[in-house]
Structure 1
């Protein structure tokens, strides 16, 4: 394993403050895999997720018939990093990248890929695998290594016609929130509410705005009229209505994706929006349903897109670990000041030399933090 020069520099910079048991390792790039590396670093420093993944690995490593999948490859990679004798260095996530490319043809080419698409794909794949294992465990509990740890679904088969409770995996427990879509008929005032789950919130952005204002816009009231009228079950007809989206159950880890890539019809292509969007270190969620407590969150990772367009560029990540901010750029790891995060807000000008923009933000709920 190659030790990067930035590694020894990092150890010197942290000195006596180097956190006990922590490891800071860069990830080798296998031809435009920065989209993958930047997301992996953010997830590694998402402590509840990392701890569950390491526990999963230690519980399942004795299984000789375990089939390789994205979950086992990721657990193996995180275990490799956390068990290194050295505190800093570089690791090659070759097996993990090969598995990603094997399972999803979109990531097989050496073209620039989207970090948000990769994050979505990864979390959904992990959930699918855990759900399959949980279902297998329920059907044959004696062969299951982890009947309780994988999920907290119902233990007994339910009679025919009874709706099964969905399996809640530890990925759900970290990242899943619930949105409620409320539609109010303007004729009879009946409110129809429909819940939907989410792993991240994708927010439209405006020039010179903030995450708070983007969240307010996300939950703003929209009027449905003309061709967009709503079919009201009570009125049994199409009616004008008001619709809004609110957060019913905030997640433990709130992932916010800023929609920086927009399709411009006049140009016939996607364009990157370099808008200045301020993201705070501490965030209060106020667009929750009535009766839900306002949740307070603390920023711990930012995936940054470097470049002027959607089809080329580079991804890096800034991560908070034990009150220190670190900058991960593939193999390189450096200390950074918290104030440097402001350079990722974006530009107040339409055209700017600064091409580093915050793209995916990771917040942890501080009230639930152990």
Structure 2
């Protein structure tokens, strides 16, 4: 069912040493390492040249770590340089306290995206005209487009309807991580049970009533949310840490999930015609233990071996598909496109 790997010849399967209380950091890095399109882009020779020319410090640190994890021959490595960079650009993580893996993942996305924008700006400046490539010129929630926004960014469509005059307004909002509330009144639910309340129609009453621009009155308003532009890679965050009265607690509801996820019920009518609706799971971040005394691990699917592995800092073991499901799941990463064998020089 589970076996410890004896001969280490599996690219992309590499444990990460933990010299402090950085299990949350290691778990997030394993998910990044398992995101094949991102790894391919960062390790491509042309990209590496551009990163050096544009002096992309954050991206180059990731490149060196990913190179160790994909092309190294050791069962584990020490992400010392990446950890040092983390503490310098995100000082709130410069301590030995337990931190939130979801918060770190989102901040790393932003830091990497901001760094990679230098490449696009450099090309724009050197060519003396705006880049016409659609992937690079679009305005997104993260700003200028990069591989990070291309892979992880999606958008919602909010429709509000005045219950008096039926006047409709449309608004959009971009996202990179989708945070889902967990039902608290039951001990077990499905990931669909967490998604449904996020997208179900809500009636705004009382103080929440919105001022209608058509009838200029504050009346009850219906709010409907649709997924307008699903991201290529969907990151779902289960909101396990909340409040019970005045105390902060960890919600232990067992959220069941499968390796395939269908989003068709939550897409807008236009997105249903043009967007991918089925996603496949490729990484999970687990949080074990209590709110203040917990431990993070990562479960990641390797596209070369076609097997799952459990990463517990430097300890790595192969995992049977049936054991991916866990009541400790905290962050789930799905891809709408199956990962192929990565095109990495030297692999």
1:307 and 2:297 aligned:
no
Q: Which residue of 2 aligns with 1:332?
A: 315
1:361 and 2:332 aligned:
yes
Match among 9, 32, 50 for residue 60 of structure 1? 50
Q: Which residue of 1 aligns with 2:137?
A: 153
User: Any stretches of 5+ residues in structure 2 without a counterpart?
Assistant: 342-347
Q: Which residue of 2 aligns with 1:135?
A: 121
1:99 and 2:94 aligned:
no
Q: Which residue of 1 aligns with 2:301?
A: 320
Distance 1:277 1:23, change over 3 A: closer
Structure 2: distance between partners of 1:168 and 1:149: 10
TM-score by length of 2: 0.86
> Deviations along 1:31-62, whole A, 9 cap, x unmatched?
11111110110111111111112126532365
Distance 1:168 1:279, change over 3 A: same
Q: How big is the shift at 1:195?
A: 0.6
Q: How big is the shift at 1:149?
A: 9.2
Would you say the 8 A contact 1:263–1:269 is kept in 2? Answer: yes
Distance 1:93 1:111, change over 3 A: same
Would you say the 8 A contact 1:134–1:151 is kept in 2? Answer: no
Q: Which residue of 2 aligns with 1:281?
A: 259
Q: Which residue of 2 aligns with 1:271?
A: 249
Structure 1: distance between partners of 2:52 and 2:156: 39
> Deviations along 1:57-77, whole A, 9 cap, x unmatched?
5323654x7253x22211221
Would you say the 8 A contact 1:260–1:274 is kept in 2? Answer: yes
Q: How big is the shift at 1:25?
A: 1.0
Q: Which residue of 2 aligns with 1:262?
A: 242
Q: Which residue of 1 aligns with 2:153?
A: 176
Aligned-pair Cα RMSD in Å:
2.7
> Deviations along 1:285-334, whole A, 9 cap, x unmatched?
0201123226001111100001122x221100011113201010110111
Q: Which residue of 2 aligns with 1:158?
A: none
Match among 172, 175, 189 for residue 195 of structure 1? 172
Distance 1:132 1:59, change over 3 A: closer
Partner-residue secondary structure (3-state), 1:121: helix
Structure 2: distance between partners of 1:240 and 1:61: 52
Q: Once structures 1 and 2 are overlaid, which stretch shifts more, 358-367 or 112-121?
A: 358-367
Distance 1:29 1:92, change over 3 A: same
Structure 1: distance between partners of 2:196 and 2:340: 25
Q: Once structures 1 and 2 are overlaid, which stretch shifts more, 231-240 or 130-139?
A: 130-139
1:24 and 2:13 aligned:
yes
1:78 and 2:47 aligned:
no
Q: Following superposition of structure 1 onto structure 2, how do residues 5-20 of structure 1 map, counting pairs within 5 Å?
A: 9-12=4-7
Q: Once structures 1 and 2 are overlaid, which stretch shifts more, 115-124 or 213-222?
A: 213-222
Would you say the 8 A contact 2:189–2:254 is kept in 1? Answer: yes
1:225 and 2:214 aligned:
no
TM-score by length of 1: 0.81
User: Any stretches of 5+ residues in structure 1 without a counterpart?
Assistant: 1-5, 155-164, 347-356
Partner-residue secondary structure (3-state), 2:281: strand
Match among 32, 55, 58 for residue 43 of structure 1? 32
Would you say the 8 A contact 2:34–2:300 is kept in 1? Answer: yes
Q: How big is the shift at 1:150?
A: 12
Structure 1: distance between partners of 2:314 and 2:133: 34
Structure 2: distance between partners of 1:67 and 1:167: 15
Partner-residue secondary structure (3-state), 2:55: coil
Would you say the 8 A contact 2:27–2:313 is kept in 1? Answer: yes
Q: Which residue of 2 aligns with 1:352?
A: none
Distance 1:150 1:242, change over 3 A: closer
Partner-residue secondary structure (3-state), 2:84: helix
